Structure 1
């Protein structure tokens, strides 16, 4: 059925090609490998990297096309989901029609092409969120979240894969840019100070909180600013920004009409042998125990949806105070992508602690959905 559905819009040979590539084995890479390989971005290394992506990206993208075409409850037929599928198909077509990469010239052209692929997929998250929203409107209200397990599992796979695709493309593209520091290898900073990244993410989150509410709780950071480890600053910024934004919102809303001073959000950075753990604690009233499992699902948000009109208006890594309820599950995927995790512990009536674990060994393979 799924293949037939795709055939109607895709043409038989393209469908066969997608299925052939989608059944090939994916190859995961580790943070350490990317770091060592990228530390000397010679022409030869860039060529090897491009040749790897030329074969790897179509496999990963084909798998997502097949997934997008076989979703339960008619989600595959929702206009927003069809649009995402078409973006993935266009990218698959572009990659497959690109000839073998033999020299520096080919490599440069290939790099421009995958840069365009990355931009094409900028709005995938808001567009998929819109598709899920279109589905929720049409579903029988008796179908509860538990029945939508398949959709949650699909979205976990889908977004985890997207993180990997964007990391591989971004890493390759960045290696072309003149290096601002000997410690920067593409997207990876070999001596990243988590305290510094956290400070920047907190400033961004506080700016948004001030804009939305007119005021904002303080954030106190406890940790050694001179402590560094190898990680992707962009990923850490996104994760901390998301978690702190949620904490600020909870505190601000709880103390909005109170004559008490809103208590600060506290962040502790602990440097372990295996993990760097970041704990974000707020006194925003917490989450009822029955609500905790829901915060990791994609069909639940405590906030009103922020894009009923046009998801095209969202930017690539959208920054809204509270939107489609994807912040927490996607933050956990970013943590898991390099062997970490996210845990949330709440005390209803008091506040919430988020524990962000980041693996500092750097040798865990990408999880490949």
Structure 2
């Protein structure tokens, strides 16, 4: 009997239905910070029982919301027919079963057992997010094989390009799915940090010190990539002692992402065969000259301001900017990273092999507390018919994580990824910024440079931006679970007869 089948039959018949229709309990930064401080200051392991009991109740609801998204019909291609996504959906069912079958962690001993399960769930989540990357490649590859017969692409006269409505549907789906996973992982990560490391992820922090560390990390990566000094970063702030309640890794990851983009744009604009060139832009400002490095490139400027409602970080570069028509694409999961290379001559669509070669490269999915890795798509090849766009997975009696487990060895921290082409950096950075009421926006001047604005909402009572999933999606999960019960039952019967 495989693990998915066992997990399904261990659950009460109506539990998934109830979980899918339950509302999540949204938390604020203030609540997370206050509870974390209480646990740390008590210096008593029994204090962890309170957050453990909450997680025991809350995690199955959040996991079921992710399951609902995977079985939704909001995408132009049915994800339920994609083998990778089927394995991921089964994995969520197994996770729900493991949490709900464990006794409520109402004692320190049971809390220890529950925390051990959280460590396992954290690792399983890492594999699932990597598999999502592979599944997205699978989705795009299958559609690219016969663009004449699907709604994803159209020929605009210059080649095949993504249909704007399909791109919008993909954007909506992944925004919601990644936001659900972002919040779920934050809760798991917070509890593990309190239990294993004696610290809370949400705390009072100084954005200036985080910015300085992000600058050093981005400059190190940029210098290694271009083999010369990275652009200097000039910092200006009227108040160096700004503090706010936030998640340190959220802030560092976003500033680091924006600085990487600014440094890359600057270097690509000014460097020719490894040597600085001049294209007539204005000279560097005299502001903060003491912080400039040996680089001859125009400096990047970081301005940190403490407003009444927001803490805002502005990062400005002279990296050539972007055309207005290209601005929407920077938030697209289809166009971001290496996946921007979608267009190809229509004549190339005639041969299967050439379509595979020209399909978008694998996109790397990166979320806070969740490293990812490039080029994982080759680990899962879909069985695609050249005359039929519908993909069907063969249900094998095996644990879903065994099927996806090879991906775990490919995991890398976001700091270890290359300077460019590693995936959905900006779309995910905006989701992170918006999760507790902030935002991320860009303004670009083609021919000059780009300004990025990262805002942190100072009101730490603002609740998580956790998306609701409608009743129609919950009904689709019921169909999925019932079908899966039938399929896994048949698979187990076949295995027994062999």
* TM-score where L is the length of structure 2: 0.67
Match of 2:263 in 1: 248
CA distance in 2, matches of 1:349, 1:75: 41
Distance 1:340 1:110, change over 3 A: same
Aligned length: 357
Distance change in 2, residues 1:151/1:38 (3 Å): same
Aligned residue in 2 for 1:202 = 215
Q: How many Å separate the matches in 1 of 2:448 and 2:130?
A: 32
Q: How far has the Cα of 1:324 moved from its partner?
A: 4.6
Aligned to 1:266, the other structure's residue is in SS state strand
**Residues 125-164 of structure 1 mapped to structure 2, 5 A cutoff:** 125-139=129-143, 140=147, 141-142=153-154, 143-164=162-183
Residue number among 420, 424, 444 corresponding to 1:346 in the alignment: 444
Secondary structure of 2:126's counterpart equals coil
Mapped to 2, the partners of 1:283 and 1:126 lie a distance apart of 34
> SS where residue 361 of structure 1 aligns?
coil
Q: CA deviation at 1:13?
A: 7.1
Deviations 1:176-235 (A, max 9, x none): 2464xxxxx510222x11111111112111222122221221122222443222211111
Instruction: Note if 1:188 corresponds to 2:222.
Output: no
Q: What is the distance in 1 between the residues matched to 2:102 and 2:6?
A: 22
Please tell me whether the aligned partners of residues 188 and 230 of structure 1 are also in contact (alpha carbons under 8 angstroms).
yes
What is aligned with 1:220? Answer: 234
Residue range with higher mean Cα deviation, 198-207 or 294-303: 294-303
Matching residue of 2:82: 78
* Equivalent of residue 192 in structure 2, options 148, 155, 173: 173
Deviation by residue 1:58-81 (Cα, 9 ceiling, x = unmatched)? 001011112112343033333333
Indicate the structure (1 or 2) with the bigger Cα radius of gyration: 2
8 Å CA contact 1:287–1:347 kept in 2: the answer is yes
Matches of 2:265 and 2:417 in 1, distance apart? Answer: 17
Task: Please say if residues 266 and 297 of structure 2, whose CA atoms lie closer than 8 Å, have aligned partners that are also in contact.
Answer: yes
The answer to whether the 8 Å contact 1:18/1:66 transfers is no
The question of whether the paired residues in 1 share the 8 Å contact of 2:320 and 2:448 is answered with: yes
Higher relative contact order (CA 8 A, sep 6+): 2
SS in 1 for 2:195: coil
| Residue matched to 1:274 | 309
Indicate conservation of the 8 Å contact 2:167/2:332, yes or no. no
* 8 Å CA contact retained: 2:7, 2:98: no
Q: Does 1:113 align with 2:117?
A: yes
In angstroms, what is the RMSD of aligned CA positions?
2.4
- Distance in 1, matches of 2:422 and 2:128, equals 13
Measure the CA separation in 2 of the matches of 1:203 and 1:67. 38
Matched residue, 2:29: 31
- What CA deviation, in whole Å up to 9, does each residue of 1:155-196 have, x standing for no partner? 1111111111111111112222464xxxxx510222x11111
8 Å Cα contact 1:129/1:324 also seen in 2: no
CA contact (8 A) 1:122 1:315 kept: no
Cα distance in structure 2, aligned partners of 1:70 and 1:326: 22
Match in the other structure for 1:323 = 421
Q: Give the unaligned 5+ runs of structure 2.
A: 148-152, 155-161, 279-295, 340-360, 363-373, 380-406, 468-498
3-state SS in 1 of match to 2:311: strand
Task: Give the Cα separation in 2 of the matches to 1:284 and 1:9.
Answer: 56
2:33, 2:202 within 8 Å by CA — same for their partners in 1? yes
Consecutive unaligned residues of structure 1, counting only runs of 5 or more, are 1-6, 180-184
Return the alpha-carbon distance in structure 2 between the equivalents of residues 178 and 334 of structure 1.
23
- SS of residue in 2 equivalent to 1:122: helix
CA contact (8 A) 2:8 2:97 kept: no
Mean CA deviation greater in 27-36 or 81-90: 81-90
Residue pair 1:170, 1:186 contacting (<8 A) in 2 also = no
Mapped to 2, the partners of 1:309 and 1:68 lie a distance apart of: 20
Q: Identify the residue that residue 375 of structure 2 maps to in structure 1.
A: 308
SS at match of 1:356: strand
Residues 248-285 of structure 1, C-alpha deviations (whole Å, 9 max, x = no match):
11111111114343211111100111110000111111
Q: Is the 8 A contact 2:321 2:446 kept in 1?
A: yes
**8 Å contact kept, 2:65–2:180:** no
The residue matched to 1:40 in structure 2 has which SS? helix
Work out whether residues 301 and 324 of structure 1, in 8 Å CA contact, stay in contact via their aligned partners in 2: no
* Deviations, residues 289-314 of structure 1 (Å, cap 9, x unaligned): 11111111211125464633558313
Question: Are the equivalent residues in 2 in contact too, given 1:30–1:362 (CA < 8 A)?
Answer: yes
Scaled by the length of structure 1, the TM-score of the pair is: 0.89
Return the alpha-carbon distance in structure 1 between the equivalents of residues 240 and 8 of structure 2. 56
Closer/same/farther in 2, CA of residues 28 and 309 from structure 1, 3 Å limit: closer
Any idea what the Cα deviations from partners look like across 1:122-166, whole Å, max 9, x if unmatched? 244443233222212222231514323222111111111111111
CA contact (8 A) 1:248 1:265 kept: yes
